[in-house]
Amino acid sequence: MSENKSGSGYVEAEFTRDSKYISDRITSDGSGRWPVERGRYRLVVARACPWANRSVIVRRLLGLEPVISMGMTGPTHDERSWTFDLDPGGRDPVLGYERLQEAFFARDPDYSRGITVPAMVDVPSGAVVTNDFPQMTLDFSTQWTAHHRAGAPELYPEHLRDEMDEVMERVYTEVNNGVYRCGFSGSQRAYDKAYDRLFGTLDWLSERLESQRFLMGGQITEADVRLFTTLARFDTVYHGHFKCNRQKLAEMPVLWAYARDLFQTPGFGDTIDFPQIKEHYYVVHADINPTQIIPKGPDTSGWLLPHFREQLGERPFGDGTPPGPPPAGEQVPADHGPGGIGHRL
């Protein structure tokens, strides 16, 4: 959190995200240190994290599962790192690590910034290649094309990129990061400002989506992936835990129908683990929730209600096709989905 002085001299403690990531890229032209190569890299994620959830969805929509393996940490972490506590023996079976921190130290023994997911790790060296999550998913679309599945959708169409980039920037600033600016505000003034910006943008998104099925028109793009991961967590954690409580998502008709439409699309809802999401936020953010009590609600069965958005268009994947079922070992447990258990026991 940083303190920014306003023009009036009032100091408002506004949350500022550390966005200095390892910015290396894995590219297809062979010009860099990290070439696209089947089986060489491991995507490390946490199901609880919205930024990591993006990469899980895009990897799945494009059919990159056989090409980029995936390791999953548990839903909580301490001040040091995410840990592989879901794996037998508490170690990632490919990297052999107990903590994601080990991959960052393999890259730089003096690494002192945040240990974040998603992270792409070079399996031969065990070193992190990048944790630059916004670029990572765009590169899945543009650099890994030789390995896309047959029927993979075009998630970053070249003719839409200028407008998409503007939409995604606003979604990131005001919604994806906006909920965090509400939750971690250090003053009433900072919170009020963040709250107004968040809901002003949600109103703008509702208007945009009232007459078109997806953010960029009639088919799914990366812009929808980026908005979805925040909407999927809105009622479960952001509404209460982060004080984003003007309305629940379920009380915003257009956005609620849009979010259900995506949730019921293969590759989206089947990546959402509600108990892990709740455990992460309510346990890790002890400064906001010092008791670390995990709420039993809300009821998530509404995610499966009809959305009727197909009336706006019938081609969510454009000329492509939906992905198949998640690979073995990557399925969300059935009781962690809509209407499942309240929290992990």
Residues annotated catalytic, as ranges: 49, 180
Close Cβ partners of 231 (under 8 Å, ≥ 6 residues apart)? 249, 255, 258, 259, 262
Assess contact for 33 and 22: CB atoms under 8 A.
no
Dig out the tokens for 296 from the structure: 């039993």
Helices vs strands, H then E, count in the chain: 10, 6
Exposure class string for 56-81: b at 16+ Cβ within 10 A, else e: bbbbbbbbbbebbbbbbbbbbbeeeb
Assess contact for 307 and 252: CB atoms under 8 A.
no
> Residue 36 is inside which H or E element, if any?
none
144 is in an annotated binding site: no
CA 154, CA 140: separation in Å to the nearest integer?
11
Q: Which residues are annotated as a binding site for glutathione?
A: 82
Task: Give binding residues as ranges.
Answer: 82
